[in-house]
């Protein structure tokens, strides 16, 4: 009887160990699952609000999905405005597509996040993307990213989430659109 009892205990321990083993081994996501998760994070993170040009409707601007995440359109004229409006304590201005922003930092234009190799993120590695989001510097060591790019929040995501976002961005159609360089604070008036 004692023998059977010992055998029963050993079997139970064995099955519990197998069960734990099965339960603990992390399930690896397929590429499709990773991209789907990245898409959800991009929608939730509001990337389209700033990086996708808009179409104006009676209910306000809606993302133009034919230009998904392609950044500030290169051919859009920069509107005239009085730079005194964006002095500290006054206004931050954006155009009706919210791809162009004016503030005390000058003018910033949202980047092309599509995988176009010369004007988008086509030549970026995952490491480039993660370092940029974590440090707020271009490619992790270049110039500081300008407002209102919310890298401070995006950079708190874990590696798996940032990997998913990057996988999604690399999966969308590439769009050739060379976004203008930022304009320092003293210069927007020169455009008048």
List of residues contacting ligand HEC (CB under 6 A): 42, 45-47, 49-51, 101, 108, 110-111, 113, 132, 138, 145-146, 148-150, 154, 165, 182
Report, in Å, the least distance between residue 52 CB and ligand HEC. Answer: 10
Rounded Cα–Cα distance for residues 192 and 187 (Å): 10
Strand segments, DSSP code E, in the chain are 54-57, 60-63, 93-94, 100-103, 106-109
Report, in Å, the least distance between residue 45 CB and ligand HEC. Answer: 3
Structure tokens at 184: 């320092």
Report, in Å, the least distance between residue 113 CB and ligand HEC. Answer: 6
Q: Which is nearer to ligand HEC, 2 or 104 (CB)?
A: 104
Report, in Å, the least distance between residue 75 CB and ligand HEC. Answer: 18
Q: Which is nearer to ligand HEC, 39 or 138 (CB)?
A: 138
Q: Which is nearer to ligand HEC, 46 or 79 (CB)?
A: 46
Structure tokens at 32: 């499709």
Rounded Cα–Cα distance for residues 82 and 161 (Å): 41
Q: Which is nearer to ligand HEC, 29 or 136 (CB)?
A: 136
Report, in Å, the least distance between residue 55 CB and ligand HEC. Answer: 18
Q: Which is nearer to ligand HEC, 42 or 83 (CB)?
A: 42
Distances (CA, A) of 169 to 4, 91, 132, 145: 60, 32, 15, 19
DSSP conformation class of 158: -
Q: Which is nearer to ligand HEC, 29 or 134 (CB)?
A: 134
Report, in Å, the least distance between residue 95 CB and ligand HEC. Answer: 12
**DSSP-H helix ranges across 45-115:** 47-51
Rounded Cα–Cα distance for residues 192 and 188 (Å): 8
Structure tokens at 156: 């708190």
Structure tokens at 19: 């069960």
């Amino acid at each position: 009887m004692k023998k059977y009892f010992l055998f029963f205990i050993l079997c139970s321990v064995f099955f519990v160990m197998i069960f734990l083993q099965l339960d603990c081994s992390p399930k690896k996501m397929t590429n499709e699952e990773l991209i789907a998760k990245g898409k959800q994070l991009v929608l939730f993170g509001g990337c389209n609000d700033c990086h996708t040009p808009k179409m104006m409707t009676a209910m306000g601007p809606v993302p133009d999905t034919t230009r998904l995440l392609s950044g500030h359109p290169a051919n859009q004229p920069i509107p005239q405005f009085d730079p005194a409006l964006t002095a500290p304590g006054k206004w931050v201005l954006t155009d009706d597509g919210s791809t162009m922003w004016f503030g005390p930092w000058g003018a910033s234009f949202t980047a092309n996040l599509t995988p176009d190799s010369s004007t988008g993120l086509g030549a970026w590695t995952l490491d480039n993307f993660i370092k940029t989001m974590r440090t707020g510097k271009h490619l992790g060591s270049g110039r500081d990213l300008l407002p209102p790019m919310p890298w401070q929040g995006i950079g708190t995501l874990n590696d798996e989430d940032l990997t998913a976002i990057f996988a999604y961005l690399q999966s969308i159609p590439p769009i050739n659109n060379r976004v203008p360089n930022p304009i320092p604070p003293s210069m927007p008036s020169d455009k008048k």
